[in-house]
Structure 1
Amino acid sequence: MQKPRKPPLQLLSFLLSITLFSPSPLILAAPAFDSSLPSDSLQLLAFKSQADLGNSLRFSLNKPVDHCHWQGVKCFQGKVVRLVLQGFGLAGVFGPNTLTRLDQLRVLSLQNNSLTGPIPNLSGLVNLKSLFLHHNSFSGYFPPSIPSLHRLRTLDLSYNNLTGPILPGLTRLLRLYSLRLEWNRFNGTVPPLNQSSLHIFNVSRNSLTGAVPVTVILSRFETSSFSWNPGLCGEIIHKECNSRLPFFGSSEAASPPAVLGQNDLTQGVVLPPPSPKKHKRITVILGFSVGVLVLIGSLLCFVAAIKKQGKQRVPTPTMDSDSSAIAVMRVEEEKELEGKVKKMEGIQVGKSGSLVFCTGEAQIYSLEQLMRASAEMLGRGTIGTTYRAVLDNRMIVGVKRLDAGKTAITSREIFEQHMESVGGLRHPNLVPLRAYFQAKEERLLIYDYQPNGSVSSLIHGSRSTRAKPLHWTSCLKIAEEVAQGLAYIHQASKLVHGNLKSSNVLLGTDFEACLTDYCLAALADCSSDPDSASYRAPEIRESSIRATSKSDVYAFGILLLELLTGKHPSQHPILIPADLPNWVRSVREEDGGEETWLAMLVEVATACSLTSPEQRPTMWEVFKMIQEIKKTVTMEAASTGLSLSY
């Protein structure tokens, strides 16, 4: 019998190259389209060419091409802001450079299809808020571009074939509301997520190992959120960790998982035990008085009972994946600040002795631990002294000790009611109040520690450096974030900040502007504080008159001028409004090209700092003005080919 002929060597090499180096399935080059089409049209067509092998999507090319009327597409001013293609039977791949240049896209849903291959680089989707890719057949590692999507609130990659570790960079997504990663093949450890915004979480049915980090937020979820990961252990899932597991890397006895603070997590740093040789810091026992120390002894008897209290947990959603996605998308649409600020409802308060945790916060430390903490004084303010406190479980918190001589004398009940209202405020641009304590004249407020200092130190630097105005994009970013935080306070609670100044605007872990000391002016007389005097509106400069929302607006106008000029308000000259633009320009010594945005921001500052409170805009109106300025500047930059980073 004649032997079959061997294929030529060249052909064999070609076949091997396809087998060894081509993706599976084979990704075909996207067909060429009319380059005169809008950019968003080209992106959608490129996606269809690789993902829609069954030609399910009816994207019409009839002239004129209008992608805004295609299936699943929603536009705003001609730009795609929403693309929902769920359940279309898409059976190709999500190719690179397809959809990834839709820079105005807010919602992307490709759920319930049969897409394969890796998830491409999504870093170009800078405005993306919701990403639904669940119930497909995606493979490869966790998309490394996801942690760069800082506006992302909803991420669902469940029911795929993804593998590798879950990226710890997810801790940088400070607005994350929903994270679903179940039914994949992820390995490695659970990231120490601690974003206060996180309400939906599931990593079940993977191959995760090691101790689940004991963080404030992860402690709230049921064990079902972590189930079917045989290698997971730790306090949260009620399973003792074996010291011989590879996670620990040694045969030494495993130490209990550390309780990590929110700011430690977003920085990805676990503090080592304090070393007296390396850091000579004064250890301050936060009792501050003999009376409090005596009180501690009487409270120790409560510790045993406190430890028996069950953790408050967020129930795992029982709805199916499709209805869950629809519900989350609806939540996202309702989350916009405009006119839909959440009303405060029944604040749950848990007590650990006289240490009161606000808004259902998990009771992860006791009064005894707080009193044993080593502390470093950060500064003295209008109504008290602020400390950086390191607890014995290495958690870091910020503690403000109210000065009894500067705060108004209020009853225990009135103080508690006010703190419950303040503790109920939660917004990305507010430093959250986690707990408080009072005994006789001793009152402590416990906040998240913010590691990057204040806007005041950012603007004015140290005494050895000359104050210099911030870059205009930084001015715009900080102004927008402060305005948004103030607008939230005014609308959500009907409270006021009352003591806005650059030293009371801290920089968070992602250098976002966060208000602190808000709503405390009701407890203190700030009129004698020289640092606050320049921010006080004319109508409240007498100590007997309380701050209002319009006096907050005035303070914001002064702060905005401080941002623009780099000069403390005490150095601002007395000028009529018409002269303000010239003064700001002369101080900034600009190279040119900033006339438009500078004039608009000065106009906002002028409107805010008018003498008559009735003539000032509301904080919500100020926030919308700044958004319009940002939009105008961004459009102008785009027309000249510039790329702005805020």
Structure 2
Amino acid sequence: MKKLMGRKNCTDLGLNKCQGSIPHFHVNLQSLKWKASCFPPHTTRHSTTQPTLYYFALNAPSSNVRHSNMFNRMILLLQLSLLLLTVLSVLIFSGHVLAAPSTTSPAAESLLLPSDAVSLLSFKSKADLDNRLLYTLNERFDYCQWQGVKCTQGRVVRFGLQGFGLRGVLPPNTLTRLDQLRVLILRNNSLFGPIPDLSGLFNLKSLILDRNYFSGSFPASVLLLHRLRVLELSHNNLTGPIPASLCILERLSSLRLESNRFNGTVPPLNQSYLQILNVSENNLEGPIPVTPTLSRFDAKSFQSNLGLCGEIINKVCNDSHSPFFESPTNAPLNQSAQSQEVVVLSPTSNSRKLKSIALVLGSLIGVSVLIASLLCVFGLVKKKSSHEKDPPKKTTESLGSEPGYTPNPPTEARPEEISDLPKTFIPEVRAVRKSGNLVFCGGQAQPYNLEQLMRASAELLGRGTVGTTYKAVLDNQLIVTVKRLDANKTAITSSQMFEHHMDAVGGLRHPNLVPMGAYFQAKGERLVIYEYEPNGSLFNLIHGSKSTRAKPLHWTSCLKIAEDVAQGLTYIHQASRLIHGNLKSSNVLLGADFEACVTDYCLAVLADSSSNENPDSAAYKAPETRRSSSQATFKSDVFAFGILLLELLTGKHPSQHPFLEPTEVPDWVRAMREDDGCEDSRLGMLTEVACVCTLTSPEQRPAMWQVLKMILEIKERVVVENASVGFS
């Protein structure tokens, strides 16, 4: 478009008629003649009514009208299209055209979102049927701030939703699109169904899906994750064999498959990095392969698999349990359509024929074994060559690794409560064993029977609110903790009520609960059997022996223990709607990695309220439950947790806690710790949690899940502060 300089009249443009103040162009497509209206041609140049005329670079009609009409029409339409596009562009850039409301479909909109956000939203739609995750997008696409999500340069590298109460399935083709994911933790939820194909997560290093309800076979796609170091699928409903090809995961350092329904044999694992192995409580059978790696683990890694045998667990194998040959009497019949032909060898058949068949079969089996052996040896050689290149990181945390923490020598109970000499197990119980039932909890196989339990040597650990606790060593060297309920301290309940309650309690499984293994009842005699924890109780850790003055734990140890106990209590409250009722430091044990595990949970309901209360327990009781007729509640558990937290922070037994107003508690905590001020803000946050938990009114106390959330927020804040200090 260009401006016509100088004066142009209508005749110059070939106009037939002039009218109006602004030119109006009209095109007659039939005659291709231009028509226009403008001011009269004799208007002066400087007249205010002189129009400014514009023309577009269009082909004006020439005298040569013999051109093809079709060609001219095409040219004209093209020119008009260009004109229209030009006008629209000018209007848009000048702000005269407003964007219409978006009518893009959700599917189309998803194409505009970051792929990682789409993956997370797709996961939530199937795995979070109760809508517990608050995942929403805004214009900033801040999905990296969502619960459990950690990003690096805008890509999700860690996705952890431990204990979020998720209910649903793990949908296929969702999380697998997170191709930068390093850590996936969905532990302790209610996810069910099969584990989908995860082969797209080729950068994954930790896959932790334990304590859910996953079913189906071992996920074969895991074998393609060559960077995997931690694999935890325990406490699910997985079935079928454990694949022998697990030996190709060369970097594997932790493998936990316990408490499933796997069958078949133990694979010949020989990874040099493997430090943690547990395949217990399955249906495995046959001899355990004696490899350099498997030989490092003791019988506990394989317990509760009744069909297993071999040198590692000191159980002699029958001849039929050969690692490579199936016993002829136990061999399955192949009944496929292609193998219906039966060959009968008569007694008069040539023995040479039998030898030939045996030779062929032996050769085939030998070749198969040789190939399998070569594959494993090749993997072992390759692993050794790369051993120096990529050492694995430690996968477990210990309280002992934290500054200022020096663990006391593990003791089983307070010194005055331990019998010096082991004794034969309780004779009164042995007298009624024939009329009783030993019931195992959690669907586990029976690692021992009632006779073995009755023959066990016992060591007194202590006396509590509802009974006496023993350490029992069975003849197969298995150690368990046995609590004998005192008939004088328990309420009179029917056998059916007791069994129903124990079944509910025995089904609780959480990393911060000491697992209940079994229970026994007969003629008023009742026993509760737990797994044995070797590192003593939290009471011993805090208070030490009476000969030495205990020093309060380092605040990081306090934070870790508080989180562990809060996790266990929250699980009890939410998963079963049961109440602990007797939380105290002697009922918190330390596991193999010094994780805090709650024990004696949900037994207080069996206690007789009229019996004399243990003085150690009275200090933990909430004000509203101190009357003999009062029952423990969720909020009384919260109160006991607050008292326990103050015990952690100060090193003082609750019976020594002064009565203080909430505003006075922080000063008292600092005085007990002889704090120099460097930990003031961090200790203050934990002290605030303890104060709100121990409010007199139960209505003002938070729920246990809210307490856990506070502690996790403190932990996250500390991590951020430490990171900022490291970069400063």
> Normalising TM by the smaller chain, what interval?
0.5 to 0.7
1:329-344 correspondence runs (5 A): none
Give the equivalent residue in structure 1 for 2:557. Answer: 474
Structure 1 pair 114–552 and aligned structure 2 pair: CA distance change class (3 A): closer
Distance in 1, matches of 2:643 and 2:487, equals: 29
Q: Is 1:295 aligned with 2:432?
A: yes
Distance in 2, matches of 1:502 and 1:479, equals: 11
Q: Which has the higher contact order (CA 8 A, sep 6+)?
A: 1
Structure 1 pair 281–539 and aligned structure 2 pair: CA distance change class (3 A): closer
The TM-score, its normalising length taken from structure 1, stands at 0.58
Distance in 2, matches of 1:580 and 1:507, equals: 28
Q: Is 1:613 aligned with 2:698?
A: yes
Secondary structure of 2:583's counterpart equals coil
Q: Which residue identity does 2:702 align to in structure 1?
A: P
Whether the aligned pair in 1 keeps the contact of 2:514 and 2:531 (CA below 8 Å) is yes
Distance in 2, matches of 1:588 and 1:241, equals: 62
Percent of aligned pairs sharing the same letter: 51
Which of 423, 431, 455 is the equivalent residue of 1:372? 455
Distance in 1, matches of 2:158 and 2:551, equals: 41
Distance in 2, matches of 1:580 and 1:537, equals: 17
Instruction: Report how far residue 222 of structure 1 moved.
Output: 9.2
Instruction: Report how far residue 203 of structure 1 moved.
Output: 12
Secondary structure of 1:640's counterpart equals helix
Which of 659, 662, 674 is the equivalent residue of 1:577? 662
Instruction: Report how far residue 295 of structure 1 moved.
Output: 3.0
Secondary structure of 2:568's counterpart equals helix
Distance in 1, matches of 2:639 and 2:142, equals: 46
Whether the aligned pair in 1 keeps the contact of 2:223 and 2:246 (CA below 8 Å) is no
Structure 1 pair 554–237 and aligned structure 2 pair: CA distance change class (3 A): farther
Q: Is 1:285 aligned with 2:424?
A: yes
Query: Comparing 187-196 with 363-372, which one deviates more in the overlay?
Result: 187-196
1:99-178 correspondence runs (5 A): 106=185, 112=199, 134-136=222-224, 146=230, 162=247, 170=254
Q: Is 1:405 aligned with 2:488?
A: yes
Distance in 2, matches of 1:166 and 1:464, equals: 47
1:253-268 correspondence runs (5 A): none
Give the equivalent residue in structure 2 for 1:630. Answer: 715
1:363-442 correspondence runs (5 A): 363-442=446-525
Whether the aligned pair in 2 keeps the contact of 1:562 and 1:569 (CA below 8 Å) is yes
Give the equivalent residue in structure 1 for 2:63. Answer: none
Give the equivalent residue in structure 1 for 2:530. Answer: 447
Give the equivalent residue in structure 1 for 2:619. Answer: 534
Whether the aligned pair in 2 keeps the contact of 1:166 and 1:186 (CA below 8 Å) is no
Whether the aligned pair in 1 keeps the contact of 2:223 and 2:249 (CA below 8 Å) is no
Instruction: Report how far residue 527 of structure 1 moved.
Output: 6.2
Tell me the number of residue pairs that the alignment of Structure 1 and Structure 2 aligns: 453
Distance in 2, matches of 1:637 and 1:152, equals: 35
Whether the aligned pair in 2 keeps the contact of 1:233 and 1:241 (CA below 8 Å) is no
Distance in 2, matches of 1:220 and 1:543, equals: 46
Instruction: Report how far residue 413 of structure 1 moved.
Output: 1.8
Instruction: Report how far residue 445 of structure 1 moved.
Output: 0.9
Whether the aligned pair in 1 keeps the contact of 2:199 and 2:225 (CA below 8 Å) is no
Whether the aligned pair in 1 keeps the contact of 2:306 and 2:445 (CA below 8 Å) is no
Give the equivalent residue in structure 2 for 1:356. Answer: 439
Q: Is 1:80 aligned with 2:217?
A: no
Instruction: Report how far residue 592 of structure 1 moved.
Output: 3.0
Query: Comparing 568-577 with 200-209, which one deviates more in the overlay?
Result: 200-209
Q: Is 1:588 aligned with 2:704?
A: no
Structure 1 pair 241–135 and aligned structure 2 pair: CA distance change class (3 A): closer
Whether the aligned pair in 2 keeps the contact of 1:434 and 1:446 (CA below 8 Å) is yes
Q: Which residue identity does 1:480 align to in structure 2?
A: E
Instruction: Report how far residue 194 of structure 1 moved.
Output: 4.7
Instruction: Report how far residue 162 of structure 1 moved.
Output: 4.4
Give the equivalent residue in structure 1 for 2:648. Answer: 563
Distance in 1, matches of 2:505 and 2:531, equals: 14
Instruction: Report how far residue 186 of structure 1 moved.
Output: 3.8
Distance in 1, matches of 2:474 and 2:537, equals: 23
Secondary structure of 1:379's counterpart equals strand
Secondary structure of 2:493's counterpart equals coil
Instruction: Report how far residue 427 of structure 1 moved.
Output: 0.9
Secondary structure of 1:429's counterpart equals coil
Whether the aligned pair in 1 keeps the contact of 2:184 and 2:208 (CA below 8 Å) is yes
Distance in 1, matches of 2:452 and 2:235, equals: 35
1:460-539 correspondence runs (5 A): 460-524=543-607, 525=609, 528-539=613-624
Whether the aligned pair in 1 keeps the contact of 2:284 and 2:305 (CA below 8 Å) is no
Distance in 1, matches of 2:236 and 2:721, equals: 28
Give the equivalent residue in structure 2 for 1:17. Answer: none
* Deviation digits for residues 459-513 of structure 1 (CA, Å, limit 9, x no counterpart): 0000111121111111111111111111111111111011110111010111111
Structure 1 pair 497–214 and aligned structure 2 pair: CA distance change class (3 A): same
Secondary structure of 1:401's counterpart equals strand
Whether the aligned pair in 2 keeps the contact of 1:481 and 1:514 (CA below 8 Å) is yes
The TM-score, its normalising length taken from structure 2, stands at 0.52
Whether the aligned pair in 1 keeps the contact of 2:563 and 2:711 (CA below 8 Å) is yes
Distance in 2, matches of 1:545 and 1:188, equals: 56
Distance in 1, matches of 2:469 and 2:727, equals: 42
Instruction: Report how far residue 623 of structure 1 moved.
Output: 0.7
Distance in 2, matches of 1:182 and 1:112, equals: 25
* Deviation digits for residues 405-454 of structure 1 (CA, Å, limit 9, x no counterpart): 22222222222122111111111111111111122232111100010011
Q: Which residue identity does 1:411 align to in structure 2?
A: S
* Deviation digits for residues 16-42 of structure 1 (CA, Å, limit 9, x no counterpart): xxxxxxxxxxxxxxxxxxxxxxxxx9x
Larger Rg: 2
Whether the aligned pair in 1 keeps the contact of 2:469 and 2:484 (CA below 8 Å) is yes
* Deviation digits for residues 157-198 of structure 1 (CA, Å, limit 9, x no counterpart): 96869469998x747x699989999999744999995577x8
Structure 1 pair 369–477 and aligned structure 2 pair: CA distance change class (3 A): same
Structure 1 pair 236–635 and aligned structure 2 pair: CA distance change class (3 A): farther
Structure 1 pair 415–82 and aligned structure 2 pair: CA distance change class (3 A): same
Q: Which residue identity does 1:420 align to in structure 2?
A: D
